[in-house]
Amino acid sequence: MDKSWMVEDRHTEKYINGVKGFIQFAFSHSAKGNTILCPCKKCLNCSWLEASHVLEHLVCEGFVNGYRRWEYHGEASSSLESGRDAHVQQFDEVEENDDLEEDCDELAGMMRDMRHDFGDLSDVEDEGDCREPTNESDPFKQLVGLATLAGVVTSGEYGCPKCHLLTCSRWLTNGKKTCYMDHRRILVRNHRFRTIDKAFFDGNVESRTAPEPLTGEEVDALTRNMETVFGKDPTGKQTIRKRKRGDPPQIFKRRSIWFRLPYWKDLLQPHNIDAMHIEKNVCDNIVNTLLGINGKTKDNTNSRRDLELFNIRTDLHPVPVGKDTFDLPPASYSMSPELKRLFCQVLKGAMFPHGYASDIRKNVHVKEKKIAGLKSHDCHVLLQQLFPLAVRKTLPEGVSAALIRVSRFFKKIYAPVIRISDMEKLEEEIAETLSILETIFLPSFFDMMVHLMVHLPLQVRLGGPVKYSNMFPIERFLCTLKGYVRTKSHPEGSIAEGYIFYECLNFCARYFERCETRISRLVRNDDPEPMSSSMPFFNGGGRYLAGKYTITLDRNAWLQAHRYVLFNYDNITPYLSKHLEYLSSTGQRNALQIDKIHHDEFHEWLRLHVAHLVDSGEKISEEIQTLAKGPLFVARTYSSYTINGYKFHTKSYDEGRPTQSSGVALVSKLSSSSNESRTYYGVITQILELDYDNKGNVVLFKCEWFDNRVQDKWVKVDKFGITHVNRKHLIHTGHKSSDAPFILASQATQVYYVEDPLAPDWLAVRQATNQRDLYDMFGMGDENSEQADGPTGHNLDPIETISIDLKDIPKTRTDIDGVLVSAKENPKFEKEWQGKKGQARRLAHTVMYRALEVAIPESTRVLRSQSVMHESDNEEDADNEQELEENEELGLDDQQKKKKDGRKRTRMHTVYDRGNQPPVPVSFNEKGQPNGDNASEFSNFIATLVKTHIPLGHEDWRLVPVEKKNALLTTLRKYYVVDDKLKDYVMGTSHKKWRDFKADLKKKFFKPEKTDEEILTLRVEDNRVSYDDCVWLIKFWRSEEAEKRSEQGKKNRSSQKVLHTSGSKSHARVAAKMHKEKGYAPRRDEVFVRTHISKRDETIMTAETSKVIKDIDTAIEEHPELLEKSIQQGDILSHVLGKERNGYVRCVGLGPTAGSLGIPGAQKLKSTKLQMAELEAEKAWRTNEALMDHMDYFKEDTKAQMDALMAEMAEMRSMLSQSIAGNKNFMHTSEIQPEASVGEYSTADQSIHDVDSIEAAQLIRKKKEAAQRLNNEAELQKRKEAELLHKKKEEALMQKNNEQDMQKKREIESKKKQEDLMQKKKEQDMQKKREADLKKKKEATVTQKNHQKGNEVILFNVYRDHTTPVAKATILATDRKKIVGGRELGTECCEVVVNYIIKRDAILPRPIGDVTTMGQAQGRTIAWLYKHLEVDKSKMKQASPPQEE
């Protein structure tokens, strides 16, 4: 047939006639009615069109490129026939020629049909986008490939390609999807789960057998007569095929093209189900459900409603709480916010060895309690390695065991060595595991991907290890192809061009021998091939990667390393035996003593023994002689080393890195005379290479080994088979000569450790993957081979199945709260709930009692009770720093809103509680800034006092009354020792906190569109703000001045590009810490660098910051003299950033200003009057100081004179006493009449005594008068000077007082206007209050009628959000005089019995003994406030209507 016209111009007559001839040919050979396939460039033989349309398309668009043989329009393949004939002529004696002929025909047809299967590719081009294949959406879309090639149905009622018509599925009416359950039928016939109690499953006894997959012959017979229509409908309509009632179910959509191959029907496993996507979706289902991720969890409102429709798991049915709210009881897998954070913390703390997996820590968000953005391999590692560590700490034991069985299942499926017996056992185990999961999770959890886990063991048993059939290499290659895309409008062309370019480079790279190419490049953990040598022991392999240093070993380390090399040398056994025989011959009987001597002295004995043998002429191998001599004391150390396919790092090299490559494990014998072995776990501290006399090298790892001498003490295995080690207890530290801290590098197996947040001293041991780029070819055909357990022969996770008793799995959790859901969020559900069906459902919910098994700890109860009492009863202590914990479970949106709104009120319980203790000193630096351990607490307490002591009704901090500031300072000094140097810091901090508090209030409550009454709710929200301050703030916020300030503030904040990263830590504290680290006071530029880089990875946050740091480095290089200059002289930071701002000095912190530090040019210009007043005040102050010094001198002089007078008086008294004593002696010696002489002497003596006393008194009086005159003169002089000083002070402050008087006048006028407005507002409030009181009285009357005995009520929170229901109860008594909890009920309370608990941590308004929370009041009678309960109207006791007379 002549086709030369096809290359002619499309508008020529020859071309048009040729097209018409083509159409006639096509209608005579391949017509379908009055249509044929259109071969134009647009339709691509995929659209059935009429002749006129085909003619138009071929003239306008032309034929598709390369369509010279009209195979889609009935033309035979002449080229294939000719080739076939030539082939037959060449091999005419081969009997299989006929079969080959048929295969070629079928292969050509298959390729033709496959083109049709993929449809019109123009749709892909029109999208103009090339997306990476993803598995984040509907899991059933991942079975599209299986549905396309195998032609099976992969969704809906019969969606399982293995179970076919025997698929057990249920349609979830509310969830709008199909679930696949009833896995008990796959169990063995006599399994206990088939006849177990009805309470655990759906209430039925399972007697069905497991479904058998269809064989290839059965599939061939079922699809043999199916008609498959390729391409699109000619009319362009998309018809949706629905099975009519009565029609047989369809499990095949089309006949697979592969059945044209004669052997296809005989294959046992024609198609694979992808284990990678199954594992990822199972992991996502579990993680999203456990964490309750909004929109992704399988436990939601619709799931609970489906339980009601199935009438199973009644403990999890929604419980009505009022008309439009219901409570979802916590399932056995539910977790509280604290447990969710713990779950995320376990994953957040995991670091993997280098090259093992990506860093999933960036995908774990602890605060938000979510995990997002995991790829397929991330889920692979998470599910198999980390998941068991997280669930065992957060879920009940039975639930944890079931989920760990799922983890173990995938670990066995991905094993590199598959045993038939293990897979047969695994088939039974996974069926039992899924049956257990049916008692834990809701039906919506069991989608097709979860169900397909049952069929994976059989597939592995037939097809071999999963690694040869999963999608990991395909996904990686698709990612590579996506990287080729440069023009997104034509992705296919970009991929083709990039692939060809890649192949060309590979081809050229094979001819480059002296340079590194992608062909010759070493693999990641490449070991150099061992060199042929007479000493193979020294060719241990491996190569160093980083940190090469030369060191000199001490005697102890040299001995330990050399001893370990000798004992682990393969050919040393004869010499070991000789030495043991020698020790036995010396008379040693104790085996332990022999082992000790053998361990300590063998190296020396070997050196002497080998030297003796060499001297005697005996032939000894060179390797033995080299080892016997010992290594040199000079050795090399490395920080990183690769060997056996592992990359090892030292512990110090791992610090600061996102990987953990320093963990090792080793199996070693307990002694040379024992066959028992023990596994040691440790961390590499040093990589050492010994040099044996320049003839050979041996690489050793020096490790910190965890103590495992006592079984299950410091190294133990828990009930789930997870090994734990205690990091605080070490052995073989190397301090003793008998220690053995070294191992050969070739013996090390890599492990990594995961911290336990609840027990920081314990680490969970996880074994790394098999060696990279090394393939173990030993024992592959031996079922008893242990090569799968790693080179050490040990396996950290035993393969034994974890047994589970269904009775150990709780139906609900009694230690956490459920979730409150409003029916208004789901209009359909609200309609059903309020309708007749909803009424019947509510009546069916009788009073449910939920037993309380786990009580809240007493310490927690007391703390929460005290916190609530502080908040409600004591306004002064309302700012303490103990935040009330939120035990309500929040969704993701609520968590984000909470994070956006900021933290709750700061309260300082710890400070207020030490009110009776002496004030705590505050350490500070020379600039008057706190820098001690309590600096943060001191600053927070200042903020607390500011918010309670300082009024907010002022535009400027300087207008705040000084009395309020002094009161703040006085209160602060009750708890802290505030030095005078700290006053500036206290006032500066108070000013900042005062402004921030006002800004926070505006951000939280003020919106221009709100009314004043709505904004006044901030008084209710925050009782620290007075009513007057509220009114003033609202008026100020609406003023033009406030708007101007707001705009200026936004402008200033937007211009701030260089932001610090020190968080809440002040610059003073940062500088103090650096001082301790460096040993000297840091410069400002050093503080700047420290406070402007990331604390986590030491990266620079912004480009502006990076520029400043570069400028600092440049300034140091160009101007090193600036390093010695101070701030006043112009240091490096001043040179780079320029002049300091007014009131703040960069990198110094709050408190000091440029003026106070004496920076040139930072002083403000003052008026002449103010300068003169300050000068006069300074002179007066100096005069006063001089006067005080003069008075001190005068007092000292006067005191000295008084002391001298007192000394003279004392001397005169002593002389007088001596004279009196002499007179008495004289009287005894005189010879006169006793009576007369006595009288005369007495008179004489008295006269003498009087004369002396008078003289002494006169002298003393004179002295006192002189001293008094001096004192009077001094006091007069002091008074005159004080009056002069006072007069000068008054004159100095006169100008300032005048200015303040003017300001006060303006304030008084403004205050009068505010008082007028406030008076009007108070009158309005009084009117509203009277109306509210009247309304309350009416409501009280109605409430008293409604709160009848026997009514069921809903109790609402008393201390927190009053709209949150906490329990359901029944009223027992309303008698005012009845005593409940030691008090009468009165008019405010009634007696109720708690039936159903919603919030376990709700505080009781009247505790009864130790019962202080709602969780402890289950089934008990308590007192509850009328105003915090609401009658359940659906169950309210109706009063009988009055009878007519």
Q: Is residue 702 predicted with pLDDT exceeding 60?
A: yes
Would you say residue 834 has pLDDT above 80? no
Q: b/e for 42-69, b at 16 or more Cβ within 10 A?
A: ebbbbbbbebebbbebbeeebbeeebee
How far apart CA 823 and CA 829 sit, in angstroms, is 6
Is residue 846 scored above 70 in pLDDT? no
C-alpha–C-alpha distance, residues 491 and 481, integer Å: 10
Can you give the pLDDT at residue 649?
Answer: 93
> Is the CB of residue 322 less than 8 Å from the CB of residue 1353?
no
The pLDDT score that the predictor gives to residue 1393 is 92
Q: Strand 169-172 to strand 634-638: parallel, antiparallel, or no bridges (unpaired)? A: unpaired
- Residue partners of 367: CB distance under 8 A and separation at least 6: 341, 895, 899
Which residues on adjacent β-strands are paired with residue 1373?
Answer: 1391
Q: What is the pLDDT of residues 153-188, one digit of tens each?
A: 888 888 898 898 889 999 999 989 999 988 998 998
Give yes or no for a contact between 140 and 159, defined as CB atoms under 8 angstroms apart.
Answer: yes
The pair of structure tokens assigned to 1276 is 């007069």
Contact assessment for residue 1350 and residue 862, using Cβ atoms and an 8 Å cutoff = no
pLDDT (tens digit, 9 = 90+) per residue, 464-484? 899 888 888 888 899 999 999
Work out the average pLDDT over 10-32.
86
Nearest to residue 144, comparing CAs of 167, 178, 171, 117?
A: 117
Block residue for tokens 């059903």: 832
Task: Give the C-alpha separation, 43 to 72, whole Å.
Answer: 13
Residue 828 pLDDT grade (very low, low, confident, very high; cuts 50, 70, 90): low
Q: Tokens standing for 262?
A: 């004669």
Summarize pLDDT for 75-97 with one digit per residue, the tens: 764 433 333 343 333 333 333 34
Exposed / middle / buried, residue 9 (Cβ in 10 Å: 0-12, 13-18, 19+): exposed
**Mean pLDDT along residues 758-781:** 69
Count of H-run helices and E-run strands, the chain: 41, 34
d(CA 1374, CA 1382): 16
Render pLDDT for 247-300 as a digit per residue (tens, 0 to 9).
677 888 888 888 889 899 888 888 888 999 999 999 999 999 999 998 899 998
Mean pLDDT of 11-15: 85
Each residue of 975-1016: pLDDT tens digit? 888 877 778 788 888 888 888 888 888 887 787 777 776 676
pTM: 0.60
Q: Residues 673, 595: contact at Cβ < 8 Å?
A: yes
Residue positions counted in the chain: 1445
Reference 449, options 286, 240, 277, 631; nearest CA is 277
Please provide residue 69's backbone torsions phi and psi, each rounded to the nearest 5 degrees.
-110, 120
Location of structure tokens 């110094």: 1148
Query: Does 863 score more than 90 pLDDT?
Result: no
pLDDT of residue 351: 92
Q: Which of 632-641, 898-907, 1242-1251, 1434-1443 has the highest mean pLDDT?
A: 632-641
Residue-wise pLDDT tens digits, 1028-1054: 788 888 888 888 888 888 877 777 776
562, 603 Cβ separation under 8 angstroms: yes
Residue reference for tokens 């319980």 = 909
Upper half-sphere CA count for residue 756 (Cβ side, 13 Å):
21
Is the Cα dihedral 241, 242, 246, 252 positive or negative? positive
Compute CA distances 837 → 324, 841, 1433, whole Å.
15, 6, 17
In this structure, how many other beta carbons lie within 10 angstroms of the beta carbon of residue 701? 26
Round to whole Å and give the CA distance between 986 and 938: 9
- What is residue 442's predicted lDDT score, i.e. its pLDDT? 93
Higher-scoring residue by pLDDT: 1105, 105: 1105
Q: CA-to-CA distance for 717 and 389, rounded, in angstroms?
A: 13
CA dist., res. 536 & res. 621, Å (int): 12
- Cβ neighbours around 184 below 10 Å, total: 25
Q: Please, are residues 885 and 817 in contact by the beta-carbon 8 Å criterion?
A: no
Q: Give the C-alpha separation, 69 to 66, whole Å.
A: 8
3-state secondary structure of 1410: coil
> pLDDT tier at 1437 (50, 70, 90 boundaries)?
very low
CB 1349 within 8 A of CB 1355: no
Question: Residue 898's pLDDT is what?
Answer: 42
Residue written as token pair 């979802």: 328
> What gap in Å lies between CA 1074 and CA 1083, rounded to an integer?
10
In the numeric block, the tokens 């201390």 are attached to 1359
Of the two residues 36 and 1208, the one the predictor is more confident about is 36
More confident: 647 or 1203:
647
For 336, other C-beta atoms within 10 Å of its C-beta total 18
Cβ neighbours, 10 Å, residue 1051: 9
Residue 1031 CA from chain centroid, whole number: 43
The two three-digit tokens of residue 1029, written as one number: 């301050």
Residue 420 CB coordination number (10 Å): 10
Q: How far apart, in whole angstroms, are the C-alpha atoms of residue 974 and residue 978?
A: 9
Q: Are 1147 and 1099 in contact (CB under 8 A)?
A: no
Q: Which residues lie closer than 8 Å to 44 by C-beta, 6 or more apart? A: 64, 120, 121, 122
Rounded distance, CA 684 to CA 661, Å?
A: 9
**How many angstroms separate the CA atoms of 585 and 590, rounded?**
12
Burial class (CB in 10 A: 0-12, 13-18, 19+), 7: exposed
DSSP state of 528: P
Listed range (116-125, 515-524, 685-694) with the worst mean pLDDT: 116-125
Contact yes or no for 563/740 (Cβ under 8 A): yes
Query: If we measure between CA atoms, which residue out of 1209, 1206, 1207, 1220 comes closest to residue 1255?
Result: 1209
Residues 605, 601: Cα–Cα separation, whole Å: 6
pLDDT digits (tens, 9 = 90+) for 134-155: 333 344 444 556 666 778 888 8
Give per-residue pLDDT as tens, 1276-1321: 877 777 787 777 777 767 777 777 777 788 788 878 887 888 888 8
How far apart (Å, rounded) are the C-alpha atoms in residues 1102 and 1058? 7
What value does the mean pLDDT of the chain take? 76
Q: Which residue carries 């935040």 as its tokens?
A: 883
Which is it for strands 920-921 and 976-977: parallel, antiparallel or unpaired? Answer: parallel
Q: What is the pLDDT of residues 505-559, one digit of tens each?
A: 888 888 887 777 777 777 766 666 555 456 778 777 788 888 889 999 999 999 9
pLDDT of residue 133 exceeding 60, the answer is no
- Are 742 and 701 in contact, with CB atoms under 8 Å apart? yes
What whole-number distance in Å separates Cα of residue 1175 and Cα of residue 1177? 5
Assess whether pLDDT exceeds 80 at residue 618: yes
